[in-house]
Structure 1
Amino acid sequence: MAAVSATSVTFGSSLKLLKSRQITGKASSLKMVTVGWTKSGFPSLRTSRFRVSCSAKPETVQKVCEIVKKQLALPAESELTPESKFAALGADSLDTVEIVMSLEEEFGISVEEESSQNITTVQEAADLIEKLVQKNSEA
């Protein structure tokens, strides 16, 4: 029987180790650690400019899906999700370059070559577009 080991970290309201507990059994070993911080410990979290951006707007993802379908000549009934990988849809490196060029034209952005090489899914493309559009609007 294989041994299992896991670690859990929980944040509290002070900058100290709140508790540490080791649980061992015949087939597993679990160490639970709880730590935290005070608000003054991370001043950047208190600034008014702090923003968290997890993913692109749904309309951006939808537009990327439309462009990918068009560039890869996929049937209209093809189901694309944010997790759809270009390679799984039959795209080669040239197709990916053409998709990026279409996205640049559609959204009025410029994607650097090294950034375009990291785009493998619809979501990655949409997230990059949102980032570049926001960067352009702030400039």
Structure 2
Amino acid sequence: MASIATSSVFFPVSSSLKQNQVSNLKMVSLSFTGKNFPSLRLQPPRFRVACAAKPETVEKVCEIVRKQLALPADSAVTGESKFASLGADSLDTVEIVMGLEEEFGISVEEESAQTITTVQEAADMIENLKAKKA
């Protein structure tokens, strides 16, 4: 939860105080939360920092995805492509992961396989597994 606290706040002085009179108000502290101020809500990051896979790895994953899903060779499959938006169901995703394991000589744990939703995530996982293996 985002909060902003100020150590002092200026409030307009009431008309009953003369121009040179000082109020006995010394300090006011306020705390605001993002609930009432939408601009203060924590926003999701606008970009994601990740260890990007090599372009050749991403392209090879694209080829495997096209093959497993029987997509035409000219179909638009990129790193940002989600398996589900390409028509893959859970069984197709398992077959894609098996194809990746065979092609790259890696072994993907079931927990990791379930978190992969895009071509880029698959390529990044492959790079990480290959680095650990080396």
Length-normalised TM-score, structure 2: 0.64
1:59 is aligned to 2:56: yes
- Give the counterpart letter for 2:57 in structure 1: T
Residue segments in structure 2 that go unaligned for 5+ positions in a row: 5-36, 41-48
Shift of 1:111: 0.1
Q: How big is the alpha-carbon RMSD for the aligned residues of Structure 1 and Structure 2?
A: 2.3
Superposed structure 1 runs of 4+ greater than 6 Å apart: 27-30
Residue segments in structure 1 that go unaligned for 5+ positions in a row: 8-26, 31-51
Aligned length, in residue pairs:
93
Q: 1:122 to 1:28 in 2, by over 3 A?
A: closer
> Which structure has greater strand proportion?
1
- Give the counterpart letter for 1:127 in structure 2: D
Q: Distance in 2 between matches of 1:57 and 1:69?
A: 19
Shift of 1:54: 2.1
Compare relative contact order (CA 8 Å, sep 6+) and give the higher one, 1 or 2.
Answer: 2
Cα offsets for 1:84-137 (capped at 9, x unmatched): 000000000000000000000000000000000000000000000000001000
1:83 is aligned to 2:80: yes
Aligned residue among 98, 102, 110 for 2:107: 110
Q: Percent identity?
A: 76
